[in-house]
Structure 1
Amino acid sequence: MKALIIDNVSKKIPEMLRSKGVDVEIAVMPGVERLKEIIGDADVLVMRVLPSIDRSILDAATNLKMIAVCSVGTTHIDLDYAREKGIAIINAPAGSSNAVAELAMCKLLELNRHTIPAHVEVSGDRIWEKNHFVGHELRGQTLGLVGFGRIGRRVAELARAFGMRTIVYDPYMTAEQCAAAGGEKMEKDEFLATADCITIHLPLTPETDNLISFDDIAKMHQGAIVVNMSRGGVLNEEAAAEGLKSGKLGGVGMDVIKGELADLAGNDVLYSPLFDTDGNYAVTPHIGACTVEAQENIGDIINEQIAAFFHL
């Protein structure tokens, strides 16, 4: 049996596999063409979210029985074609909830207190002027959560410690379920008009693509802050950029962008319309789960599933 690991994942995973006699090859971010060359004899592919696993890669994976995704989302995989070929897909939906939630709160603090432009002005321009960066406290603000699963509920717990009111837009949860987890369910228009800050915690699906659009941003109150911790495409980045430029939005935080799955080894260039703004904007390269603790949790979850599937 052979395992191919193509991203930086918990050391627990190769250690467990090798202890069971599995041949482990590690090729971090090999690129699409190289991946096609080396995936042919692998029984299990261990990865995170790059690259997109399309039909051409799955066709090259002639021996593949499982794709182990060391994160929550699996939309970067052609799931229908993988299942057609009999390839099992596993992931770790609970392993990084706290890490992602903490980063969401970090972005809310950064955007409300203007810490990033303050850092740039002090370290780059050598200006020491605190009055340029008068911000807002989180206490007393209303936080709107788009999606109230594991991550959304953990964000709600953290927000309560800051003294925030929590409202929820999640069509798949009842008002009673939201209330039991500390959130107040609202319909979308009321939710958008009420929230001071909004954080997004949803998978990217046909239903959630462009879920927060030009029209939705127009319904928010002046100076609202939006943070996307889910997947690029759920928040319309062109609409968010226009909202920043017009002053409608007081800040935008992103841990994901729609173009992050571009083939950067080819001719594609990493781009978002938000890159063309100079407003209160903070982006990170999908690091929500990038903590030692989260990766250890994910390693345990993935190991358990691989061992059970292959009877190791």
Structure 2
Amino acid sequence: MGEATSSRNNGSEVTEFILLGFSGSRALRLGLLALFLLAYTLTVTENVVIVAVIRTSPLLQKPMYLFLSHLAFLEAWYISVTVPKMLLGLVATKFQHISFAGCMAQLYFFLALACTECVLLGVMAYDRYVAICNPLRYPTIMCPALCSLMATGSWLSGFSISLGKVFFISRLGFCGPNIMNHFFCDVSPLLNLACSDMSVAELADFLLALLILLGPLLVTVSSYAAILSAVLHIPSSTGRQKAFSTCASHLAVVVIFYSASLFIYARPRAIYSFDYNKLVSVVYTVLTPFVNPIIYCLRNKEVKEALRRVAQKLAQALGAPT
């Protein structure tokens, strides 16, 4: 461990990092291992099921569900970038080591998927805006070609934006110590371990995080402002309730995602706390991907009906005579 925590001034370059993860007694670590393993298994299963049901159900061949399938596919990978490494770290301390290249790769895919989700949530908000504010033109505006273009654009923009940020971080000097008080390679812990004066880099990172997060958030807020205005002009309470119900699940996901993300990535370092940061990071790396499919399924009658039909077909197939 002494070699791993060498001084910043010894001039040697860091070739690996040590992720402290969650410290505590062996019983606590085993308890966290069981909890996170269960959450990871359920999350991947939920999202894979949603993708399969949407892609195979004629009832769900609509733009809203196309974007939802992309979101579910994204979150199955999103949680897989960080949680498996964290689980191994809870099993044995030797798995807490991660190479410099592995750390940069984990950071890149994590940021790429997070940025893609930001853009995708904005696209989904725009879809709801068109559906409610321009219902007669909805099929024409949200045509299959445009929907595919918007979904593809979300992925391309997310993976492109994060590339520059990770390249910048990878070019910084890291000369020790190499112990990271986190459970995965994230931006702020890495900047904290850099050798040189990071005041300019931290400011640039803060402004870039604001740009990445607030751009899609502005689209989302503008869309829902227009939706709210349109809904309030609907004369019947039943019509208003129906309009709101089509947006409730997406709005809940947006609030959860942006609350955690803005707290982590768009705040001054003066209020930064490593231990508190790890707890909040659990919200958007583990809890959000786990809860999102539940929110969409419980709040959406069409998804529940499609799931029920698939379950019936499976039951019939399993009960059919050979």
Bin for the TM-score computed over the shorter chain:
under 0.3
The structure richer in strand per residue is 1
Larger radius of gyration: 2
Taking structure 2 as the reference length, what is the TM-score of the superposition? 0.24
Taking structure 1 as the reference length, what is the TM-score of the superposition? 0.25
The structure richer in helix per residue is 2
Task: State the structure with bigger RCO (CA 8 A, min sep 6), 1 or 2.
Answer: 2
